[in-house]
Chain A
Amino acid sequence: MNTPLPLSDVPLGEPVNLSRRRFLASTAVGALVIGFGLPMGSARVQAATTNAAERGTQVPAFLEIRPDGSVRLLSPFMEGGQGTHTAMAQIVGEELDADPATFVVEAAPPGEAYVVMENGMRITGGSMSVRMSYPTMRRLGALARAMLLQAAAQQLGVPLTELTTQPGRVVHAASGRSLGYGELAGRALDMPVPDPASITLRDPSQFRWIGKPVKRLDAYDKSTGKALYTIDLKVDDMLHAAVQHAPRLGMTVGSLRNQAQVQAMKGVHSVHTLTGAVAVVAERWWHAKRAVEAIQVDWLEAAADSTLRAMPADFSTDKHRDFLAAQQGPARDDENEGDVAGALKNAKTRVEATYHNQYLNHAQLEPPSALARFNPDGSLEVWLPNQAPDMFRADIAKRTGLDPANITLHSPLLGGFFGRHFLYESANPYPQAIALAKAVGRPVKLIWSREEEFLRDVLRPLAVVKFRAALDDKGLPVAIEAVSATEGPTEALAGKQGDKIDPTAIEGLSGKSYAIPNKRIAQIYVKGPAMLGYWRSVGNSLNDFFYEAFLDELADKGGHDPYELRLHLLRDNPRLTTLLKAAAELSGGWKRGPYTAEDGSRRARGVAMASPFGSHAAVVAEVSIEHGQVKVHHIWEAIDPGSIVNPAIVQAQVAGAVALGLSQTLLEEAVYVDGKPRARNYDLYPILPPSRMAQVHVKIIESGEKMGGIGEPPLPAVAPAVANAVAQLTGQRIRSLPLSRYTFS
């Protein structure tokens, strides 16, 4: 997920008044809790200001230390598998001097206190969580440690300077006395939060947990079914709901032909008409689901003034791709250096090619759900998967007319991230859940069936990119031009083209580091009928495929090895040269093939690079053709995120990103015919099964440069590395995805 452009305009809600009662009410887990400094909600905490220097200094808003010494941390970031909760425990624990294993981490509620990112936002996405909050969260841990030290000094009656800590304890070495953090939590309540400027952070060379493969805090719960996702939650007196969506977005409910029959079905509480959907509320979800499927709705075409992007009845993905390919402009330049036109004109060799990709679904394994409850005092509580609680709360306030202070928003674990949990107007179940809870006067949990999810999921964009390049007499590229006819997800959410080019449309074509003196990267903005969204690695997930596959075409045309050509084009870039060589070395030394492997299969390798989300990646892929399909045997990936917090989680994220990258390369494709998605479940929208997975080998390079992201950066180079290997093996250029559309023999 990338940073959406208009975020800075989004109201982040009012500063939270962290009264003790409210704080506990919103997060209580039932056990006897002694809140660390909780009553300090007074002026001091609230005054802890919105200025950047003091972000993340409201210690009580983040931390509770329980009598047993365990630490409860409210994380500004959502856990969706990327390991951010564990990383937060490592970072805070390092400075607090508490073993991350003693942490319990949950997602914090909305509120200014939790805006800790250096860009002034709070969103889990864009691979930003750790890199944008790292110094702030360290300081938070250090502030908390200072408060514990002060408390211990009082309790033991010794000077502060004589105290030290060891994990979970304050130690007075002179007297041999020590106090556990749990014993100090009560007294620490009364301590003022120290001046952030007075805090000294730990010397990185002394890190015990940061940079180490600390075990994930959620590994056990997630291996035993104990982890709770929104779909699992239950509150007293709760009813269940299911919906049937309009077959095309924007259509509205005309009439229900058989409402009485459905109303009489077993377990049905009530039948409801919503915007673009009908719903059944029932005692059991299965009853609701079967009943809502039975409703025979006469749907009306979208009204002309529909605020939704109305899906036309004749929309087809294949036709839309042809439409994009036919666009001539005007185009807007994102990068324009040198004299591309001149270089092309005078070129010894000109190379042209047109590439395209495919629409994709998120297909996260947890179907969307939301639980809404109106409390007797008129306040509203909502549990929903999300990646930006303040934005969601503001949206709920807007929809319900409620004061944000009367809305409690809970952010449970996410059953898959991938960009699905952004604020998509038409693709979230919580507005429906809230409307239903209001209508029935009882809490309602709404689950979208997998079929309803495929009908409303927003799509990863489609682009048709026309490349032109010039080679000099040595066969080296001297000019490259890429013009992409596409619509980026951010401009799709805005509904219009912005003043500046939407980076999520063009990143990965732009931002390449190769030393090609003349280059032009441009976009032809084409607003399409399908609603778009962010998909892991966003623009890079398609654009690096286009660019890196075309670069291999240039290498071949110019008579150069693609690996050597990349090294040549990066000759003045030591960081990327090191990275590329590391990937080659990891693979046992660059060898392109084709060659015959030990098992007798003919194989070839491809290489590609990408620099998304502040990190850099280089991938070598090894492929063969098996039963007419591409088999990817190995992916060797070197990644340089500058510096890291948890190498084990980084490795896992690389493996996961490779899997998703392979999935979009080999199989995935959202196809629309007659305005409707052909696939409504995994049967017609296959995602990577274990049998198609490659063996992933990871090399992490900590160049020491500014910390970059990890969730998304490993993905974009996978598709072009595979495509380049396939082209080398089969002689067939791969200019589109997925590969299942090709026939190989």
Chain B
Amino acid sequence: MNTRRFARTAGWLALPCLIAAGLLAWYVTREPASPFEQEQATTFDPALVSRGEYVARLGDCVACHSLAGKAPFAGGLEMATPLGAIHATNITPDPDVGIGAYSLADFDRAVRQGVAPGGRRLYPAMPYPSYVKLSDDDVRALYAFFMKGVQPASEPNIPSAIPWPLNMRWPIALWNGVFAPTTTYAAKPGQDALWNRGAYIVQGPGHCGSCHTPRGLAFNEKALDETGAPFLAGALLDGWYAPSLRQDHNTGLGRWSEPQIVQFLKTGRNQHAVVYGSMTEAFNNSTQFMADDDLAAIARYLKSLPGDPQRDGAPWQYQTAATDARPGAHLYATRCASCHGLDGKGQPDWMPPLAGATSALAKEAASAINITLNGSQRIVAAGVPDAYRMPAFREQLSDTEIAQVLTYMRSTWGNAGGAVDAKDVSKLRGHTDPASSSPIILHMR
């Protein structure tokens, strides 16, 4: 190319580029509209605060924004990203480091659109693509709770460890433009109120898809509601495999009744499973506090999501184990059978069965490996820590032994999850820590 001509062309292009850049700059830093622009919330009805506290339970805000032993919502939970660690922020009504200076509209933009005052974009670790579905009433209530129900705390925010230029936030706005919806939940005609309430909680405040929906290349959830087949179809995140919440017989809720789903979310356990991994936090801090009606609604909605037999594989059926000389069989008998039974059937509802467990049927072995390495954190139901917990085996079993015992577990009693590779155990061992054997209680007030 001729240099001179290039310069001339460049000159012609400069103006549109500048305009585009200006538009872009505006777009990526703008404060989006909020229906609350004109609303000055000054007095907070205690009932509204209390309603907001419940919404905060539905949204499980505390799980990320609080640390055990520290002031509620003073921030601090570290989230590892491929670029560096980020920390959940202080969302107490402290005017300097918290959100005390936020107007209702500011609050709304942060919660539902991921935009902080001044236009700074939040990382989508904050599940605003789900929270966007929150109703105006729930946002108003949530705001009331954070302003009046939460004590201000001056815990400073921890700067992210992401280096420049990767720490620039404006590209997130472009990501939002592609992946984040902008509208609140609209009731689906043709479905009853219970179903719609369930859909609202699951898609919106409950942000179940954050863990249970597979993500695309841009780390976007591949579907945000039941119109997309990947919605809640099971996903790998942070060393855990969050199983399908669809009607999948093996890896989903196909074998669970609605009352069993309610029981699981209310008490942390049922005849099929006991909460573990990241779900323990969701249970301890959120689902057990949901009203029975809401749990029933969630169950109704989840049971309406069809499974995918092709993805899920041949339906599991219990098979009696044959005599097995594999080393994993002996490890299982000595290390696992006391609780989970030689027959793999567990001791429902206290120790979960491994026969037919999603962790034994899903192709992803991460959850099985993780819980075996690190044990379970304590389940605290109705304020009382669990009677039984899963021990950690990382100090007792080698990568090979864990692979052997899990391979046995995933290929016995009709389980067909498949073999576990010692290398995968090694990988998870390297970047996970054992679960605490002390109950961790996060307070909201």
* Interfacial residues, chain A to chain B (CB-CB below 8 A): 247, 257-258, 261, 265, 290, 293-294, 296, 299, 451, 627-629, 667, 678-681, 683-686, 689, 740
20 contacts between A and B (CB under 8 A): A247-B438, A290-B384, A294-B383, A294-B385, A296-B441, A296-B443, A299-B69, A451-B437, A627-B398, A627-B400, A629-B398, A679-B395, A683-B391, A683-B392, A683-B395, A684-B395, A685-B395, A686-B396, A689-B396, A740-B395
Bound-state CA distance A740–B399 (Å) is 13
**A683–B393 touching, CB < 8 Å:** yes
**B391–A681 touching, CB < 8 Å:** yes
Q: Which of B430-445 contact A (CB under 8 A)?
A: 434, 437-439, 441, 443
Which residue of A has the minimal Cβ distance to B393?
A683
* Interfacial residues, chain B to chain A (CB-CB below 8 A): 69, 375, 380, 383-385, 387, 391-396, 398, 400, 434, 437-439, 441, 443
Residues in B whose Cβ lies below 8 Å from that of A451: 437-438
Which residue of A has the minimal Cβ distance to B439?
A293
Give the interface centre of A258, A293, A627 by most chain B CB atoms within 10 Å: A293
If A294-B383, A683-B391, A683-B392 are given as contacts, then 5 extra A-B residue pairs at C-beta distance below 8 Å, sorted by A number, are A258-B383, A290-B384, A293-B385, A294-B380, A683-B375
**A680–B395 touching, CB < 8 Å:** no
**B384–A686 touching, CB < 8 Å:** no
Q: Closest approach, in angstroms, between the C-beta of B409 and any C-beta of chain A? A: 18
Which residue of A has the minimal Cβ distance to B68?
A247
Residues in A whose Cβ lies below 8 Å from that of B391: 681, 683
Q: Closest approach, in angstroms, between the C-beta of A18 and any C-beta of chain B? A: 48
Q: Closest approach, in angstroms, between the C-beta of A286 and any C-beta of chain B? A: 8
Partner of A684, one of B394, B398, B439, B441: B394
Residues in B whose Cβ lies below 8 Å from that of A628: 398
Residues in B whose Cβ lies below 8 Å from that of A681: 391, 437
Q: Closest approach, in angstroms, between the C-beta of A200 and any C-beta of chain B? A: 58
Q: Closest approach, in angstroms, between the C-beta of B388 and any C-beta of chain A? A: 11
**A678–B385 touching, CB < 8 Å:** no
Interface secondary structure of A, over-half rule: loop
**A290–B392 touching, CB < 8 Å:** no
Partner of B384, one of A294, A667, A740: A294
Bound-state CA distance A293–B381 (Å) is 12
Which residue of A has the minimal Cβ distance to B384?
A294
Q: Closest approach, in angstroms, between the C-beta of B429 and any C-beta of chain A? A: 13
Residues in A whose Cβ lies below 8 Å from that of B439: 293-294
Q: Closest approach, in angstroms, between the C-beta of A482 and any C-beta of chain B? A: 31
Bound-state CA distance A695–B387 (Å) is 39
Partner of A678, one of B396, B400, B434, B443: B434
Bound-state CA distance A261–B437 (Å) is 22
Residues in A whose Cβ lies below 8 Å from that of B375: 683
Which residue of B has the minimal Cβ distance to A740?
B395
* Smallest CB-CB A-B distances: 8 pairs: A683-B391, A680-B437, A293-B385, A294-B384, A683-B392, A686-B396, A686-B395, A684-B395
Bound-state CA distance A402–B421 (Å) is 64
Give the interface centre of A299, A681, A683 by most chain B CB atoms within 10 Å: A683
Q: Closest approach, in angstroms, between the C-beta of A247 and any C-beta of chain B? A: 7
Residues in A whose Cβ lies below 8 Å from that of B385: 290, 293-294
Residues in B whose Cβ lies below 8 Å from that of A683: 375, 391-393, 395-396
CB contact under 8 A between A684 and B434, given known A257-B443, A293-B439: yes
Q: Closest approach, in angstroms, between the C-beta of B169 and any C-beta of chain A? A: 31
Bound-state CA distance A257–B396 (Å) is 37
Bound-state CA distance A59–B237 (Å) is 73
Which residue of B has the minimal Cβ distance to A261?
B383
Bound-state CA distance A679–B436 (Å) is 9
Residues in A whose Cβ lies below 8 Å from that of B384: 265, 290, 293-294
Bound-state CA distance A352–B394 (Å) is 35
Residues in A whose Cβ lies below 8 Å from that of B395: 667, 679, 683-686, 740
Residues in B whose Cβ lies below 8 Å from that of A299: 69
Which residue of B has the minimal Cβ distance to A313?
B69
Q: Closest approach, in angstroms, between the C-beta of B27 and any C-beta of chain A? A: 43
Bound-state CA distance A476–B375 (Å) is 52
Residues in B whose Cβ lies below 8 Å from that of A296: 383, 441, 443
Bound-state CA distance A709–B211 (Å) is 61
Q: Closest approach, in angstroms, between the C-beta of B371 and any C-beta of chain A? A: 12
**B392–A684 touching, CB < 8 Å:** yes
Bound-state CA distance A627–B395 (Å) is 15
Bound-state CA distance A680–B380 (Å) is 18
Bound-state CA distance A681–B437 (Å) is 9
Bound-state CA distance A296–B438 (Å) is 11
Which residue of A has the minimal Cβ distance to B378?
A293
Q: Closest approach, in angstroms, between the C-beta of A160 and any C-beta of chain B? A: 64
Bound-state CA distance A685–B391 (Å) is 11
Which residue of A has the minimal Cβ distance to B401?
A627
Which residue of A has the minimal Cβ distance to B387?
A290
Bound-state CA distance A627–B331 (Å) is 15
Bound-state CA distance A617–B132 (Å) is 74
Give the interface centre of B396, B400, B437, B438 by most chain A CB atoms within 10 Å: B437
Bound-state CA distance A686–B401 (Å) is 16
Bound-state CA distance A686–B335 (Å) is 13
Bound-state CA distance A296–B72 (Å) is 14
Residues in A whose Cβ lies below 8 Å from that of B443: 257, 296
CB contact under 8 A between A680 and B438, given known A258-B383, A290-B384: yes
Residues in B whose Cβ lies below 8 Å from that of A684: 392, 394-395, 434
Bound-state CA distance A678–B436 (Å) is 8
Residues in B whose Cβ lies below 8 Å from that of A257: 443
Bound-state CA distance A628–B69 (Å) is 40
Residues in A whose Cβ lies below 8 Å from that of B396: 683, 686, 689
Which residue of B has the minimal Cβ distance to A286?
B387
Residues in B whose Cβ lies below 8 Å from that of A627: 398, 400
Q: Closest approach, in angstroms, between the C-beta of B349 and any C-beta of chain A? A: 17
Residues in B whose Cβ lies below 8 Å from that of A261: 383
Q: Closest approach, in angstroms, between the C-beta of A25 and any C-beta of chain B? A: 41
Give the interface centre of B385, B396, B400, B443 by most chain A CB atoms within 10 Å: B396
Q: Closest approach, in angstroms, between the C-beta of A265 and any C-beta of chain B? A: 7
Which residue of B has the minimal Cβ distance to A683?
B391
Which residue of A has the minimal Cβ distance to B445?
A257
Bound-state CA distance A685–B434 (Å) is 12
Residues in A whose Cβ lies below 8 Å from that of B400: 627
Which residue of B has the minimal Cβ distance to A291?
B384
Which residue of A has the minimal Cβ distance to B397?
A686
Bound-state CA distance A389–B393 (Å) is 39
Q: Closest approach, in angstroms, between the C-beta of B313 and any C-beta of chain A? A: 33
Residues in A whose Cβ lies below 8 Å from that of B69: 299
Residues in A whose Cβ lies below 8 Å from that of B441: 296
Q: Closest approach, in angstroms, between the C-beta of A363 and any C-beta of chain B? A: 13
Bound-state CA distance A678–B393 (Å) is 13
Bound-state CA distance A628–B438 (Å) is 32
Bound-state CA distance A293–B434 (Å) is 20
Q: Closest approach, in angstroms, between the C-beta of A493 and any C-beta of chain B? A: 27
Bound-state CA distance A293–B387 (Å) is 10
Bound-state CA distance A686–B394 (Å) is 10
Bound-state CA distance A632–B398 (Å) is 17
Q: Closest approach, in angstroms, between the C-beta of B62 and any C-beta of chain A? A: 14
Residues in B whose Cβ lies below 8 Å from that of A290: 384-385, 387
Bound-state CA distance A197–B279 (Å) is 77
Which residue of A has the minimal Cβ distance to B398?
A627
Which residue of B has the minimal Cβ distance to A296?
B441
Give the interface centre of A451, A628, A678 by most chain B CB atoms within 10 Å: A678
Q: Closest approach, in angstroms, between the C-beta of B293 and any C-beta of chain A? A: 24
Q: Closest approach, in angstroms, between the C-beta of A671 and any C-beta of chain B? A: 9
Bound-state CA distance A247–B394 (Å) is 23
Bound-state CA distance A683–B375 (Å) is 9
Bound-state CA distance A679–B438 (Å) is 11
Q: Closest approach, in angstroms, between the C-beta of B192 and any C-beta of chain A? A: 37
Bound-state CA distance A678–B434 (Å) is 8
